Structure 1
Amino acid sequence: MDISTPCIKCQVHTKYIKEQSQPDKSRYVFAYIITIKNLSKSTVQLMTRRWLITDSNGKQLTIEGDGVVGQQPIIEPNDEYTYTSGTVIETPVGVMQGHYVMADQDGNDFFAEVDPFRLAIPNILN
């Protein structure tokens, strides 16, 4: 497996879901919206994902699986794929990071890294 990322860019936006959270029970719900942009000249397919989620107490959760939200999207050159998913942590602040395993049109696998991003309730951080 090639560890380089041939022109795949991931953008992340997060949102605290107050209506589903229960702070008195240490339950903080976050949505994350990820856009995966294929800036290469080759068609790629997202095969698997791996996430490491860490809350502010240092508790870690690893999530691995096929595709995202039940799909293994094919992303054409200069196109993008956006999806929304969510996670629950026990603290009002956490960090999430990971990668996708992508396959190019020749069947070669490679990593598309997702840089660490913050999960935080509004106005908790400066």
Structure 2
Amino acid sequence: MEKQTMAGKEANMHAEMRRAFALLSGKWKLEIMWLLDQRIYRFGELRKAIPGITQHVLTAQLRELEADGLVSRTVFAEVPLRVEYKITEKARGLGPTMKALTAWWTKYGKSVPAKPSGRGRKAKHG
């Protein structure tokens, strides 16, 4: 009987972790979160900071992150309109995870073969 209870808890935790992974899934979400952890960005600054992302995709990813409470969007009533994005306190709770990923990459990143950037805008060199 105890195995059934444990199996139920494991299944529930699996479902919960799937929800957590879904929050950060998407080709650009982790990169957006990492950048916003450094400072507040305007939309155009984010687009320039992420080579290969399109305006459409950046808009969609930011909307999803905002809907999930991980990014806040502030609109300033100015001409031209100014919009700023920053991570929320909830997202700052991912700090230890981001630090662990940074430490892992520092140790093993050189052993990972580079991949072509794929679709989207090409990075400008020079």
TM category, shorter: under 0.3
Higher helix fraction: Structure 1 or Structure 2?
2
When the two structures are superposed, what TM-score results if normalisation uses the length of structure 1? 0.21
Larger Rg: 1 or 2? 2
